[in-house]
Amino acid sequence: MSAVTLFAEIIKANAHEEIWLGSPLIGNRYVGNRNRGGLEEEFVRRCVRSLGTDSGNGNRTSKTEMRVGYARF
C-alpha cells in the first residue's frame, strides 16, 4: 500500500460525513476561514437592520469590529 493510499484511508475513516450536500448554505463550506468571520458579521448586520436597528462596521484600527445601535462589539 502506498503512503498516499494509507493516508487517504485514514482521512476517510476520520472525516465527518458530508452534511453540506444539498444544503442551501453549501457555499459556506468552501469559504476560507479568513473570510468566514466577515460573512457572519455581515449576516448579523443585515439581520439587525432588517429589524429596524442601525448597525455598522468598525475600521481596521478600531477595537471593535461592528456596531449595533450605539453598542460596539
Domain region containing 30: 3-72
Strand partners, 68: 55, 71
Domain total in the chain: 1
pTM for the whole structure: 0.59
Q: Which pLDDT score, from 0 to 100, does residue 4 have?
A: 93
Q: pLDDT, tens digit, for every residue of 49-66?
A: 999 998 887 766 677 778
Q: Which pLDDT score, from 0 to 100, does residue 35 have?
A: 75
E strands in 1-73: 55-57, 66-68, 71-72
Amino acid sitting at position 17: E
DSSP conformation class of 58: -
Mean pLDDT, rounded, for 1-13: 89
